[in-house]
Amino acid sequence: MFNFRQDFIRFAVGKKVLRFGEFKTKAGRLSPYFFNAGLFNDGESLRSLSQFYAQAIQAADVPFDMLFGPAYKGIPLAAGTAIALVEQGRNVPYCYNRKEAKDHGEGGSTVGAKLEGRVLIIDDVISAGTSVRESIDLIRNSGAVPSAVVIALDRMERGLGELSAVQEVIKTYAIPVIAIATLTDLLGYLQDEPEMAEYLAAVRTYRDLFGVDDEPV
């Protein structure tokens, strides 16, 4: 039903955004794969990526009224997703925040549509959760309601405790996190691609060591 998840993994591999080998994470772990959404850095890639975000949002069927993109990575993602949603028949407003509030001109700490109603946060990944926390505080302080967070890839990997960064967000803020694809989808892709078989065992081992269950919390 949700073939776009496998399509997204294939797309990310093709663009070398998702690579395999040995990479050191911020936690000091040696990961057999690395995902860098910053490498979706041309018009064609951004268009395709935005379409995947729109598909994930439609599939999740979460009610929302507008999009919010946390500066800086979330800005093009929110704008691109808004365009992709129009192509799927839904027009919604979007806005993004400034790193520093502007005290001249139109002023304020956000650019674009007014933050109101149910707000969908569009970001690339959730690592420490700092961006999500700041976004939720800004949305709530504006009188709006955070509806969900949408990310490209959920690594489904434990943080400092037993929960993943995604699970921490779900538990702390009581809102869903929607991922275009997860580690489970990545493993499915590796199983279905014979030329990727050499990486399958390493990713499975990494999941066994540091992974979390599929259930959110």
Concatenate the DSSP letters of all residues of 108-173 into one string.
Answer: EEEEES---SEEEEE-S--SSSHHHHHHHHHHHHTT-EEEEEEEEEE--BB-SSSSBHHHHHHHHH
Check residue 160 and give its pLDDT.
Answer: 76
Q: Give the active site residue among 24, 102, 114, 171.
A: 102
pLDDT greater than 70 at residue 1: no
Q: What is the C-alpha separation between 125 and 131, in angstroms, rounded?
A: 10
SS3 18: strand
Instruction: Establish if 17 belongs to a structural domain.
Output: yes
pLDDT 10s digits, 67-111: 999 998 999 999 999 999 999 999 999 999 987 655 444 546 899
Active site (annotated) includes residue 15: no
SS3 14: helix
pLDDT 10s digits, 136-165: 999 999 999 999 999 999 999 998 789 999
Instruction: Establish if 215 belongs to a structural domain.
Output: no
pLDDT 10s digits, 31-79: 999 999 999 999 999 999 999 999 999 999 999 999 999 998 999 999 9
Q: How far is CA 145 from the centre of its chain?
A: 19
Instruction: Establish if 216 belongs to a structural domain.
Output: no
Q: Give the active site residue among 24, 26, 104, 171.
A: 104
Instruction: Establish if 217 belongs to a structural domain.
Output: no
Give me the number of domains the chain comprises: 1
Instruction: Establish if 191 belongs to a structural domain.
Output: yes
Q: What is the C-alpha separation between 4 and 12, in angstroms, rounded?
A: 12
Q: Residue 27 is part of a domain; what is its CATH number?
A: 3.40.50.2020
Give the domain extent around 13: 4-210
- Residues in the chain, overall count: 217
Contact assessment for residue 13 and residue 6, using Cβ atoms and an 8 Å cutoff: no
Please give the C-alpha separations between residue 17 and each of 8, 14, 36, 49, 83, in angstroms, as whole numbers: 11, 8, 5, 11, 22
Active site (annotated) includes residue 24: no
pLDDT 10s digits, 108-140: 689 999 999 999 999 999 876 788 999 999 999
